[in-house]
Chain A
Amino acid sequence: MLELKSVSAGYGSFQALFGVSIEVRRGEAVAVIGPNGAGKTTLMRVISGLLETTSGEIAMEGRSLLDIAPHEIVATGIGHVPENRRLFPRMTVEENLKMGAFAPAARGKYKERLAFVYDLFPAMMERRNQMAGTMSGGEQQMCAIGRALMTGPSLLLMDEPSAGLAPVIVQQVFDLVRRIRDDGYTVLIVEQNVRQVLKLVDRAYLLEAGTVKSGGTAEELLGSESLRKAYVGI
């Protein structure tokens, strides 16, 4: 479904990704794990067009994403839940969700998808007129996921959904992610919470210093001695 072939990217003279190749197949949940500064967020940003690729190839359903404008990538079915949620703090929950349906193709399905998101997250329905910036971290994460779902994605990119949340909320967010993948969405998730996320996904890639160090099924990675020592801490 999504294929990256030796993708490089960076910020100015700083290169963050060095020839990264990964693949996500339809119906899979795939994690990208690795230490701080490994380029995980950069990877998500090049896929959704927030950052330009300097070399390599990115294709969604066989179609190259590099020759279409960044704001048109969402129409290929890629929904992005960005790092730190990035809600519009001085807009209501419902207005945030509305922005997810901005693309012309999504606008016609606005009401329908809004009902779907409220059905999935009844708490968002209750808070639909509240300013997004005044909600708790967990609720904001829900809203950010809801906003990405409003785009009508077939592939959902989730960048550290558990970051900055209280431990009890982290568990809820992981339950949420599980529900979403069980609903049939293909998920590519970046997480520092390695042990938790490996329980959730089919496969994972280990990213270090901008390159893919290893990859495999979640069981393989959990079984790998070096990975366990370095990231799982058991």
Chain B
Amino acid sequence: MAFDIYLLEAIINGLLLGGVLALLALGLNLIFGVIDVIWISYAELVMLGMYAVYWLHAYYGVPLVLAGFIAILGVAALGFLVHYLVISPILSSPPINQLLATGGLLFFLQAFAMLLFGNEFRNIGLRLPIIVIADMYISFARLLAFGAALLGMVALYLFLSRTFIGTAIRAVSQDREIMAIMGVDTKKVYLITSAIGGGLAGLAACLLVLQYDVHPDVGLSFGPITFMICVLGGLGRLLGGFIAAFVMSQFITIGGLYLDLEWGYVLAFVFFIGMMFWRPQGILGTRS
């Protein structure tokens, strides 16, 4: 068979898409693993981050990189507040109540954005070049997003493995009940984790706004797939989510190459459903 340049292009694009999806999944997984609460509204934090970059850069003329940093800090603060105001009062409630609360937050944030920013699709108007390598077209914005997502994940990895508080965050996800005898205040760990989760959503927002328009419902176009990636990898398992993100993105781009882009998503979801029958606990999950 002749070497298929389009297939290679699709694989590379899948890899680049996978990086951003992995970043999104990482934030959601981290929060679930540590706090045991699923933030249904996680993608809506990303949406608000995208708006932050848009308004700061396109409207107020703040340099893009600075706007990005402000957005990351802003969404991190938002993550902190989500835990402080919404999650911590219902931490010992049944899981269904927690789901309803974060689900309610999703609609609240969407409606809030609609009210404040309107229904228009907005674009930061940045034109990044397309790189052509050996007849393959690679978007520079995607490449940049992939690189930044990877950097963000490496930074998180170093934080979680090298520092005392990072190690404690991982420890909480493995045995929260005994943390007090280690001298760890889990309430504080939850707040820090929520802020980090928010910061990751903020970083993802910066990378997505380079490629996509922002509108109040934009969270719906990647919220569900992020959630599925987390479940596929094993909820709360950071490495599992990382792997699953690349598996799903390959389905989307390779499927999209041979059929239509929409069919790529259909294939990915069929694969997901099949996996749920075969391994409901996820790639790296353990049955509980």
Contacts and interface: CB of A to CB of B under 8 A. Distances in A.
Nearest to B165: A102
16 contacts: A48-B180, A71-B180, A88-B170, A89-B174, A90-B170, A91-B167, A91-B171, A91-B174, A95-B170, A99-B184, A102-B184, A103-B182, A106-B183, A107-B164, A151-B181, A151-B182
A80 B177 CA distance: 13
Nearest to B180: A70
Contacts of A107: 164
Nearest to A133: B174
A73 interface: yes
A175 interface: no
Interface string B164-188: 1001101100110111111111100
Contact residue range for chain A?
20 to 34
A103 B174 contact: no
A67 B168 CA distance: 24
A227 B176 CA distance: 38
Interface string A67-78: 001111111000
Contact of A50 (B164, B177, B183): B177
Interface residues of B, number: 17
Contact of B183 (A82, A88, A95, A103): A103
Nearest to A81: B181
B93 to A, nearest CB: 16
Contacts of B181: 48-50, 73-74, 79-80, 82, 148, 151
A98 interface: yes
Interface of A: 48-50, 69-75, 79-80, 82, 86, 88-91, 95, 98-104, 106-107, 147-148, 151
Nearest to B284: A90
A99 B182 contact: yes
A88 B171 CA distance: 6
B178 A86 contact: yes
A73 B180 contact: yes
Contacts of B177: 50
A89 B286 CA distance: 12
A88 B185 CA distance: 17
Contacts of A88: 170-171, 174-175
Given A71-B185, A91-B171, A98 B178 contact: no
A80 B179 CA distance: 11
Interface of B: 164, 167-168, 170-171, 174-175, 177-186
B178 to A, nearest CB: 5
Contacts of A74: 180-183
Contacts of A100: 182
A99 B180 contact: no
A102 B180 contact: no
Contact of A98 (B167, B175, B179, B186): B167
B94 to A, nearest CB: 16
Contact of A91 (B170, B180, B183): B170
Contacts of A70: 180
A50 B175 contact: no
Contacts of B178: 50, 82, 86
B174 to A, nearest CB: 4
Interface centre among B177, B179, B183 (most CB of A within 10 A): B183
A100 B164 CA distance: 10
Report, nearest first, the 4 A-B pairs whose CB atoms are least far apart: A103-B183, A70-B180, A74-B183, A80-B181
Contact of B185 (A48, A69, A82): A69
B172 to A, nearest CB: 9
A90 B167 CA distance: 11
Given A88-B175, A89-B174, A72 B183 contact: yes
Contacts of B174: 88-91
Contacts of A98: 164, 167
A71 B183 contact: yes
Contacts of B185: 69, 71
Contacts of B186: 71
Given A48-B180, A73-B181, 17 more contacts: A48-B181, A49-B181, A50-B181, A71-B182, A73-B180, A74-B183, A75-B183, A88-B171, A88-B174, A88-B175, A91-B170, A91-B171, A98-B167, A99-B171, A102-B164, A107-B164, A151-B181
